[in-house]
Amino acid sequence: MEKINKKRYWKSLEEFVDPEKFNEQAEKEFMRSPLQEDAADPVARRDFLKLMGASLALASTACVRRPTQRIVPYSERPHDVIPGKANFYASSAFDNGEFFSTIVRTREGRPISMQGNSAFPLNRSALSARMHAHVVSLYDPDRLKKPRIRVEKDKDFHQRNWNDVTYEKMDESLTKVIDGAKLGMLLASNPSPSRAGVVSDFAKTFSAQVYYDDSINHSEVRRGQELSYGDEVFPQYRFDKAKYIISLGADFLGTYANPTANAVSFAKTRQPGPDMSRLVVFEALMSLTGANADYRIRVKNSDLVKVAMGLAHEIVVKEGHSNYANSDLVKSKLKEFANVAAELNIEKELFSQIAKDIWEQRGKSLVVAGGINAKTEDALALQISCNFLNTILENDGKTVDYQNSLQAFQGSDADVARLIADIESGKIDTLLVSGVNPVYQHPENKKLLQALKKVTLIYSTMYMDETAEMADYILAESHPLEEWGDAEYLPGMYNIQQPTIRPIGDTRSIGFNLMTWAYFLEKGPARLNELESWYDYVRWTWKNRLNALSGDFERSWVALLQAGFVDTKESQRERDFTARRFRMDALSQVKKSNTKSSNYELSLYQKSAIGDGAMANMPWLQEMPDPVTKNTWENYLTISYATAKKEKLKDGDIVSLEVDGKKLKVPVFVQIGQEDSTLGLAVGYGHSWGKVAKGLGVNAWNLAKMTRDEMVTAALPASFTKTGEKTQIANTQGHHHMEGRSIVVEATLKDYLKNPASGIHKHKIFSIWPKHEYKGHKWGMTIDQNACIGCSACVVACQSENNIPVVGKKYVLEGREMQWMRIDRYYSGSALHDDIPKDPEVYFQPMLCQHCDNAPCESVCPVLATTHSPEGINEMTYNRCVGTRYCSNNCPYKVRRFNWFAYTKGDRDIDTPKEAYNPSVTVRSRGVMEKCTFCVHRIEEVKAEHKVQGTSYEDGDVVTACEAACPTDAIVFGDVNDPNSRVSKMQAKKNAYKVLEEWHAQPAVKYLTKIRNKDSISTGHGGDH
C-alpha cells in the first residue's frame, strides 16, 4: 500500500517504465554501488573495514627499526668459490633403476651440468640423456616450491610452508594423521642404504607396511631367477666378458636395466679384430639394440620364448651338446620346439648357425631377455628359458654375474596387488607414496585407483602430477641435487650423493620427513629422534660401514665425498663364479603357447629420452630426436612398412587403436624393420600436468592389461581403424637412405680383417694451393662409427654445455631444431625405388661441425663473422653475424644452425631456465648463426690453466662435452699435431676416412668405418680413383 501511494520520481522514460531493469543497467554501466554490494554480501564491507583497521593497528605497532639483514660482498667470498671458475663435486644419481656416479659442475654455487665419474667402473664419464637433463629439472619452474594440504575433501589445495606460523604446522597436521593410523608406504625401490634404513626404522616404529613399485617393474627377472636358481637377484650382465650376445627383445643398450653401463661394457668387446663380439637380436620393434645388431631377426614378442627354447633344442637335442643332452626330461620339454625356425619364418641355416656359434662360445656368450616391450603374459617363461639357455651355455656365474647383482628393481606388480588387497581389507587407511606416480602408471588398474580414493593419501613429489591431484597432503620433495643421499647399487660398492645447492624451494627429502615425524611423535629408535638432519642420518648410516674400512670415520667420509664412491669388494668384481644349479621344475612354467591372437599385437616400449615419463617435463628430452625414429615431442603408433602399405596408412594418419575394449587415438609412424604384425607405442607421454609435458602424446599405460595381478605390456591383442584425421609427427630426419653415397662406410668383420681400409673409397685429390699450416695445436676429432650406438646422450650433453635452445614441436616440423650435435641415422636399402627392405641395417653417424681446413662457410661470409683459428677451429663470432645464412648454404654437412627467432628470451614454456645456462658460453640472440665450437671454452680454460701453472698441454686435458658423454668412447678429441695423441693415432688408422672427402673441404673430423661382425662379404666397394 505504501508503495502505491508513494510519489515516484524518475529521470528517464526507461526508469519510469521498468525501474528494476533500469537500475540493473545503471549498475552495469558504472561501478557496483557499495550499497548493493553490501546487500549481496553483508560481510564484505565490514570485512574491509576490519582489515583496514587491523592493518592500521599493525602498521603503527610494527613501527620499530627494521630487522637487521647483513649482506656480504662477494670479495669476502665463500671458501673455495671463485667467480668464473667452476667447482666440481662427486655425487651420484639414480633414475628409474639406472645408477650413475656423477661429477656435478657448479658455477657460483649453482649446479650447471653433470658428467659421469670417470673413475667409476659402471658408467664412467658417460651419462644418459636423461641424466644430462637432470640439472634442468632442478630449475624446472613447474616444481613444487612448498608443501600443500587439502583442507576439505575434494576442494583445492592450500599452499603452506613447512615452518608456518599462521597455520597449524604442516608436520603437526601430518603427525596427527600418521599417529595411530594404519599406515602403508608405497615407494620406488632405491639402492640407498640410508633411505632403506630410515624407511625400515619408520615402518617398524609405526608398524607400517612397505610396498615397492618401480615405474617400470622388472619383477619377472627376479622371480625368474628365483624359480630357476633359488635366489631372487637382478643379475649384472657382463657384456664385456661376452663374445656372443643374444638379445631376446631386451633393449639393453637403450632402455633395459642399466643401459648406460651396459653400453660401456658392450663397447669393450666391439673393437674390430678377431675378438670382436657378435650381437644377435631377436625382436619385434626396432630398438636401439636391434639397430646395433650384427644379425637382427624379426620375431613377434609373443614368440620370444619359442626362440629361446628353439635355440636350446638346436644345442641340446639336435647337436647333442651340454650336460642336458642326456636328460629325457629336457628332451621331452624341448621336443615341441623342434621346428621353431620354420614356424617363425626364420632362415633355418641361420638359426642353426647361431645355435652352433653360441655353443662354440659357451662360457663367453650371453643371452638377455626382458624389458617392457617383452613383458608379455609369458614374461616369466621367457626369463626362465633365457636362464636355462644361459645355464646350458655355461654362462651362469661368468657373463651372468649373480654375485655383483643390481640392487634395484625391487618393485613388483605383486606388491601393488598386495597394497590393493590391504586397503580393501582395511589393513591400510593412510598411504604415503614417494618416488612413483601410481595414478599415471596404473590407469588400467581400476582397483588401485578405487583403493587410493579410500585412504588418506600423503604424496611426496616434485610435481603437481596425476597422483598429486588425488592426494590429501603433498610433501614438496627436494631434488636429488639438493639433498644428501647414498647408494649401494652393487653389493659393497659405496656411493655418496652430495647436494650441490640448498633446496631452492621449501622442500624436503622423504628421509628427513620420516625422521621429523618420528621426532614429533617421540617414537622409534633414538637415531630418529636425536639426529638433527637427514645429513646426520646419512652419516650415521655410514659410520659403521666406513669404520669397518679404516677405523677413521672422518677421513674415510671425506675421502668418500671426494671420490664419490668406494669399492670395498673390488676383487670380487672381475672374477667368475661357479654356476648355480638350474632347477628343472622351473621349466614347467615354460609352455608353448599356440594361441593365435588377433591380427596385430601391441607392445609398449620406452623411448630412451623419455623413459617412464617422470622427466617428460624436460624440453631437452622432448626435443631429443629418438635414436631410431628421429621423432620428437610425442608418441605414436609404430607400424611396419608392409602393414602401412596393406592398411594404406602414412606417417601422421591418426588411427583409433583398440586394445581389450579400451580405445586411444594416436598417429601412426611407419618404422622400417618392425615385425609386420606388431604395433609399438611408447610410454611416458600423455601427462595431465606440466607446462611442457601436458598434452604431449597419449598415455600408453592405459592399454596395459592386468593379468593375474601382473601388468602385461607386450603382445596385447590390438586392432585399429582409420579415423581419416591427420597430424604431423615432428621428425628431424625425413630421408633415411644414403642414396648410394659413401657417407657411412661399412664393412663386415671378415673384410676388415683382410683389409682394414675395406669399403673406403679413396679419392686422388690434388690442390694447387699449399696446405694450411698449424703451429702449436691443431684440434681434431675422430668418431668411431663402429663404437657409436646412437644413444644420443651426446646430443643432450652438448645442449647442456652450449646453452642450445629448444624450439618446440612446431618449429621442429619446420626443420628448425638447433642441436649442434646430431646423430644421423641411415637404413640400408633403397628408399627411392620403393623396395624398402624388411630387414634393414641401421647406421648411426654423429654429425657436427667438421671444422674444415678449407671451410666453405668461411669464404662466403660477407662480414667475416666466421673465421679460422690458428689452431684449426672454425670459429663463429656471434656479435659480428648479420645472418645472411650463406655459410649454411655453402656447408656440405649442413651443421650450422640459425636462430630463426629469439629463442633465449625465456618467455616460452619450453625455454631452458636461465639458472641452468653455462656461464662460459655466450647465449645467442636471434638472427645469428651458430654451430659446434669444439667446446672452445673448455680448450681456452685448459690453456689458461697451463699457462698459469707453467705446465704444458697433455693429451686428454681437453674433453669436449660430447666426448665425455659418450658411453662407448666413440668420440675422441685432441691435438692432431701431437703424433702420440689418441686422436692422431685413431686418425692414422687404415679404416679412418673423411665424410665427403672428395669435396676437399679437409674436415678436421675423421670417421672410422662401421664394422658388422658378419660372416658374409660386405656389399660396400673399396678401391680408389
Partner 1 sequence: MIKRNILIEGDKTYKDISDDICQPLESFPGIKWFQLFGLAITVLLFYVCVLGYIAWTGMGTMGVNHPIGWGTDIVTFVFWIGIGHAGTLISAILFLFRQKWRTGIARAAEAMTVFAVMTAGIFPLMHTGRPWLAYWLLPYPNQRGPLWVNFRSPLLWDVFAVSTYATVSAVFWYVGMIPDLATVRDRAKTNLRRVIYGMFSMGWRGTNRNWSHYEMVYLILAGLSTPLVLSVHTIVSFDFAVATLPGWHTTIFPPYFVAGAIFSGFAMVVTLMVLVREGFPQIKSYITLDHFEVMNKIIMTTGLMVGYAYASEFFIAWYSGVHYEQFAFLNRATGPLAWSYWIMVSCNVLSPQIFWIKKFRRSIPVMFVVSIFVNIGMWFERFVITVTSLHRDFLPVNWSDFTFKFADWGVLIGSFGMFFTLFLLFLRVIPMVSMSEVKPCYEVGRKGGHHG
Contact positions vs partner 1 (CB under 8 A): 733-741, 743, 811, 814-817, 822, 824-826, 847, 856, 859-864, 880-886, 888-890, 892-894, 897-902, 925-929, 995-996, 999, 1001
Q: Does residue 149 contact residue 458 with C-beta atoms inside 8 Å?
A: no
Q: Which is nearer to partner 1, 342 or 863 (CB)?
A: 863
Cβ 701 vs Cβ 584: under 8 Å: no
Name the residue nearer to partner 1 (CB basis): 416 or 928: 928
Round to whole Å and give the CA distance between 210 and 514.
Answer: 13
Least Å distance, CB 895 to partner 1, is 9
Shortest Cβ 774–partner 1 spacing (Å): 21
Instruction: List Cα–Cα distances, 434 to 174, 616, 1014, in angstroms.
Output: 15, 18, 48
Alpha-carbon distance 193 to 268, whole Å? 31
Identify which of residues 770 and 862 has a Cβ nearer to partner 1 in the complex: 862
Instruction: Return the biggest CA–CA distance within the chain.
Output: 119
Find the helix or strand (DSSP H, E) in which 925 lies: none
Min dist. Cβ of residue 789 to partner 1 (A): 18
* Shortest spacing between CB 820 and partner 1, in angstroms: 12
Mapping DSSP to helix (H, G, I), strand (E, B) and coil, where does residue 312 land?
Answer: helix
Q: How far is the CB of 560 from partner 1 (least distance, A)?
A: 45
Q: Work out how close the CB of 792 gets to partner 1 at its nearest, in angstroms, rounded to a whole number.
A: 14
Residue 751 falls in which region: left (phi positive, over 0), alpha (psi -120 to 50) or beta:
alpha
Q: Considering the complex, what minimum distance in angstroms separates the CB of residue 622 from partner 1?
A: 19
Nearer CB in complex with partner 1: 402/901: 901
Q: Please, what sign has the CA dihedral across residues 241, 245, 249, 255?
A: positive
Cα torsion angle, 358, 359, 360, 361, sign: positive
Nearest CA to 97 among 246, 208, 222, 203? 222
Please, which residue, 753 or 996, has the CB nearer to partner 1? 996
Q: Which is nearer to partner 1, 816 or 982 (CB)?
A: 816
* Nearest distance from C-beta of residue 900 to partner 1, angstroms: 3
Residue 394 gets the label, from left (phi > 0), alpha (psi -120 to 50) or beta, of left
- Shortest distance, CB of residue 807 to partner 1, whole angstroms? 9
Q: Which of 972, 776, 981 is nearest to 871 (CA)?
A: 776
Minimal distance, residue 308 CB to partner 1, in Å:
37
Give 329: exposed, middle or buried? Use CB within 10 Å, 0-12, 13-18, 19+. exposed
Cell of 796: 643432450
Q: Which three cell numbers stand for residue 695?
A: 598434452
Give the shortest CB-869-to-partner 1 separation in angstroms: 16
Reduced to 3 states (helix: H, G, I; strand: E, B; else coil), residue 141 is: coil
Nearest distance from residue 874's CB to partner 1, in Å? 14
Nearer of residues 145 and 1000 to partner 1, judged by Cβ:
1000
Task: Return the number of other C-beta atoms located less than 10 Å from residue 937's C-beta.
Answer: 16
Nearer to partner 1, 145 or 885 (CB): 885
- Name the DSSP letter for residue 582: P
Q: Which H helix or E strand runs over 94?
A: strand 86-95
Q: Single out the residue of 487, 495, 492, 435 nearest to residue 459, CA to CA.
A: 435
- 45, 51 in Cβ contact below 8 A? no
Q: How many CB atoms lie within 10 A of CB 993?
A: 20
- What is each CA distance from 459 to 150, 174, 450, 456, 528, in whole angstroms? 12, 11, 16, 10, 21
Distance between CA atoms of residues 619 and 598, nearest Å: 38
Query: Residue 627 has what DSSP assignment?
Result: T
Q: 520 or 811: whose CB is closer to partner 1?
A: 811
Cβ neighbours of 970 (radius 10 Å): 26
Which CB atom, from 89 or from 903, has the smaller least distance to partner 1? 903
Q: For residues 717 and 892, which CB has a smaller minimum distance to partner 1 in the complex? A: 892
Q: Which is nearer to partner 1, 725 or 814 (CB)?
A: 814
d(CA 363, CA 365): 6
Closest CA to 612 of 546, 514, 516, 711: 711
Give the nearer residue to partner 1 in terms of CB position, either 726 or 880. 880
Residue closer to partner 1 (CB basis): 401 or 824: 824
- What 3 state SS string does 936-974 have? HHHHHHHHHHHHHHCCCCCCCCCCCHHHHHCCCCCEEEE
Shortest distance, CB of residue 762 to partner 1, whole angstroms? 16
State the minimum distance, in angstroms, from the CB of residue 225 to partner 1: 42
Q: What is the closest distance, in whole angstroms, from the C-beta atom of residue 748 to partner 1 in the complex?
A: 23
* Distance in Å, CB of 660 to partner 1, minimum: 39
For residues 10 and 4, give the distance between their C-alpha atoms in angstroms, rounded to a whole number. Answer: 15
What are the angstrom distances between the C-alpha of 757 and each of 546, 766, 989, 992? 53, 21, 9, 8
The strand order across the sheet containing 278-283 reads 295-298, 278-283, 244-248, 365-369
Determine contact, residues 524/205, Cβ cutoff 8 Å: yes
497 vs 899, which CB is nearer to partner 1? 899
528 Cβ contact list (under 8 Å, min separation 6): 198, 201, 202, 205, 514, 515, 518, 519
Nearer of residues 300 and 822 to partner 1, judged by Cβ = 822
Least distance in Å: CB of 798 to partner 1? Answer: 16
Using CA atoms, how far apart are residues 89 and 107, in angstroms rounded to an integer? 11
- The answer to whether 825 touches 630, Cβ cutoff 8 Å, is yes
CB of 892 to partner 1, least distance (A): 5
In the complex with partner 1, the residue whose CB is nearer, 223 or 825, is 825
Which CB, 670 or 929, lies closer to partner 1? 929
- Which three three-digit cell numbers place residue 168? 597449524
Taking the C-alpha atoms of 141, 147, 151 and 156 in order, what is their torsion angle to the nearest 10 degrees? 10
